[in-house]
Structure 1
Amino acid sequence: MTEPQTPKALTRRRLLTASAGAAAALGAAGFPVLATGSPAISHGKLRAEPLVPARNRGIILYSVRDRISAAPDDSGIPYGFERVLARLAEIGYKEIEFAGYNQHTSILGRQITPAEIRKILDDNGLVASGTHTQINAATFEQQLDIAQTLGMKHIGTGSDPTGSAYRADWDAAADLWNELGRAARKRGLKLYTHNHDAAYGFLLDAGPLDANGKPTRSTGTRKLEYFFTKADPRYVFFEMDIYWAYVARFKHHTYTDAWGRSKSDLFDPILTVVPRTDRFPLFHAKDGDKQPTQANGYVMTPLGDGDINFQQFFEEIGKQDYHHASWEQDTAPGGTANPGQSLNFAEVSYRNLSELTIYRR
């Protein structure tokens, strides 16, 4: 067995370092710029509170999918829902976002049921915060049944509403999501979509048409931000994957306008959330090490091991009691060489998330 990767400690300097560029952008946009750091603590003027309340710290099970799906073994590493959820509760997580409802059938001699998973949640003091499932009209009521059995308040997907670059397709997606969002609301749930970087790329909505009659250039409107204007805020909500939002900042910053000129527009994840913070009840707290030579500009790491400034992000968007942060790292599983890696990463990431602090009067 190889030695597990050891994430870097989330030092006080790294914890409190804020991006001057992002702060300047917030100020220029007319939003309050909060001071990060704790200079007044020594004067006894402020009290320290967790930036992400303990009850709102979660994990999406995709990060530990290798252990959820593992067959029973004698390694001592938890496997299946009962053992893995117990370990996550022991670490400190309070919320679970699902990425499927199956485990290895050899554990029970059959597949586990949603009702049995709910009992495991309850036994461990855990709450189901949401899910990444397929969102379509044909199976939506069935998915709502499962969500209610598990006690969820949110139901969502890990996919963008559409992968298209054209307005008409985003309009059609908004019509569907508004309809499904109304159905979810009737049953006490919020419907949400989770972004990848492509959702913050630019629409093709201007300029000459191609052979199929489609626009080939852009007005500079970003796809998901256009969707914000078409999706009904009463019924459709969003889960920002913070890592992919910063990848979008790295990748999607130029477009060709209607006259063929290259234009620049720097995407800012914080400025996307702040004007509509109530539409983002959920976030994926996924970290990345800045690697400008890589296609995405970042490489995924355990939370606290990378360069994304979660202190500034969660402080600036405000409403700490409303927002839920689920740790995710797509690359956490260590495979047969290091089967305990994903749970080890879950532990260090929880610790670093819990150390984020805000100071109030």
Structure 2
Amino acid sequence: MKSGIIKVLILCAAIVSTTQAQPFGKTVRKTPGIVSYTLRDSFGKDVPGTLDKIKAMGITDLELSNLFGKTAAEMRALLNERGIKCSSYGIDYKLINEQPDSVLQRAKTLGAQYVRVAWIPHQGKATPELIQQTATDFNKFGKLAKEQGLTFCYHNHGYEFQPYEGGTLFDLLAKQTNPEYVSFEMDIAWTYLPGQNPVTLLNKYPKRFRLMHLKDVRKGVAGNDEGKLAAENSVALGTGQLDMPAILKAAQKAAVDHLYIEDESPAAEQQVPQSLSYLKQL
């Protein structure tokens, strides 16, 4: 009798273990995360309720670009209650110079591994001089981050791909930043819209890209390098212009650690489940 019970328990444990080990999909192996900006309006009204929505979608990986009036400790508690992890914490550029220690402390309180900047303040076209100063700032902050066990990433927005000496300003930024201190987050839409190929860029810098924003662009929308896209032109993954299978396969071969869905559409709450379904069947 006892041996029979033991066999049943072993079988149940094996079933649970197998279920937990099941990948999300064949190409995207683990459930992708989401950027808080996707549900910015909802977060602005109800943080706990929005986190509940995210959990209900089956997502437990979050990149926070805003604390929505909460302290880092308060946000961490809300995340912990729902089994959601903040893996990346997005901040404004100026804070890496003005409040580096506070930024890193908030990131650690949130439980984040990555700290991310998504915009280099500038007027008009970006210049080599701007990129040189940016590289200096990034190296300095990235070194501090590494000393505290964190990884600093910069998220592209398009203006970095202006031509420069046979390459682009992005190439200059990659060259002038220390790979030990500065990594990158690829926004695939803001790589594609300025005329770049995300696959080519991933292959060129396979170890530099650690994070990725998954975003698709409505068919027929023209490209630009200004980092501006009308919200309604952000569509569910797989329905727009980008070659998602090729990009995701390249990301799988590169050092990309986290994939985050970023949907800027007013219909994001309806489109995110559609994007998840698409990614799962790839």
TM-score, length of structure 1 as denominator length: 0.64
Shift of 1:161: 7.4
Give structure 2 stretches of 5+ with no counterpart: 1-22
Q: Secondary structure at the match of 1:248?
A: coil
Question: Structure 2 CA distance, aligned partners of 1:352 and 1:229?
Answer: 36
Cα distance 1:321–1:225, how it changes in 2: closer, same or farther (>3 A)?
closer
Q: Whose helix proportion is higher, 1 or 2?
A: 2
User: CA separation of 1:322/1:248 partners in 2, compared to 1, >3 Å: closer, same or farther?
Assistant: closer
Looking at both structures, which has the greater relative contact order when contacts are Cα pairs under 8 Å and sequence separation is at least 6?
A: 1
Task: State the Cα distance separating 1:268 from its structure 2 match.
Answer: 2.4
**Shift of the alpha carbon at 1:324?**
1.3
Structure 2 partner of 1:126: 84
Match of 2:102 among 142, 148, 151: 142
User: Which of 147, 151, 170 lines up with 2:111 in the alignment?
Assistant: 151
Identity of aligned residues (%): 25
1:232 aligned partner, one-letter code = N
Relative to 1, partners in 2 of residues 1:194 and 1:322: Cα closer, same or farther, differing over 3 Å?
closer
Partner of residue 115 from structure 1, selected from 73, 92, 112: 73
Deviation at 1:220, TM superposition (A): 3.1
Say which of 239, 247, 265 aligns to 1:305.
239
Q: Partner residue of 1:171?
A: 132
Cα 1:192/1:48, change in 2 over 3 Å: closer
Q: What is aligned with 1:324? A: 258
- State the partner residue of 1:228: 174
Contact 1:92 1:350 in 2 (8 A): no
Partner Cα separation in structure 2 for residue 272 and residue 344 of structure 1: 31
Tell me the equivalent position of 2:15. Answer: none
**Per-residue displacement from partner, 1:222-279 (whole Å, max 9, x unpaired)?**
0111110000000001011001111011xxxxxxxxxxxxxxxxx3221111132221
Question: Helix, strand or coil: the match of 2:91?
Answer: coil
Given residue 114 of structure 2, which amino acid in structure 1 is its aligned partner? H
Please list the CA deviations of residues 275-324 of structure 1 after superposition, one character each: whole Å capped at 9, or x if unmatched: 322211100000012315x4549832122221211111111343378431
* 1:20-40 deviation line (CA, Å, top 9, x unaligned): xxxxxxxxxxxxxxxxxxxxx
Alignment correspondent of 2:279: 353
- The code of the aligned residue for 2:97 comes to A
- The alignment status of 1:58 with 2:16, answered yes or no, reads no
- Distance in 2, Cα, partners of 1:301 & 1:60: 15
Residues 126, 159 of structure 2: 8 Å contact kept: no
**RMSD, aligned CA:** 2.4
Tell me if structure 2 keeps the 8 A contact 1:53–1:321: no
Q: Hey, what's the Cα distance between the residues in 1 that align with 2:237 and 2:64?
A: 19
- Distance between the aligned counterparts of 1:295 and 1:85, measured in 2? 33
Unaligned runs of 5+ in 1: 1-46, 71-79, 103-110, 204-218, 250-266, 334-340, 357-361
Residue 213 of structure 2 contacts residue 262 of structure 2 at CA under 8 Å; is this kept in 1? Answer: yes
Would you say the 8 A contact 1:60–1:326 is kept in 2?
A: yes
Whether 2:48 is the aligned partner of 1:82: answer yes
Q: Is the 8 A contact 1:287 1:300 kept in 2?
A: yes
Inter-CA distance 131–200: structure 2 relative to 1 (3 Å threshold): same
Correspondence list, 1:273-284, <5 A: 273-284=202-213
One-letter code of the match for 2:170? L
Specify the alignment match of 2:190 in structure 1: 244
| Cα distance change on mapping 1:165 and 1:354 into 2, 3 Å | same
SS for the counterpart of 2:119 is: coil
| 1:327 aligned partner, one-letter code | I
Counterpart AA for 1:139: Q
Give the alignment of 1:194-213 within 5 angstroms: 194-203=155-164
Q: Counterpart of 2:193 in 1: which secondary structure? A: helix
Cα 1:354–1:119, aligned 2, differ >3 Å: closer, same or farther?
farther
CA 1:282–1:159 in structure 2 vs 1: closer, same or farther (change >3 Å)? same
In the TM superposition, residue 81 of structure 1 has moved relative to its aligned partner by: 1.9
Asked if the contact 1:60–1:98 (Cα under 8 Å) also holds between the matched residues in 2, the reply is: yes
CA contact (8 A) 1:160 1:199 kept: no
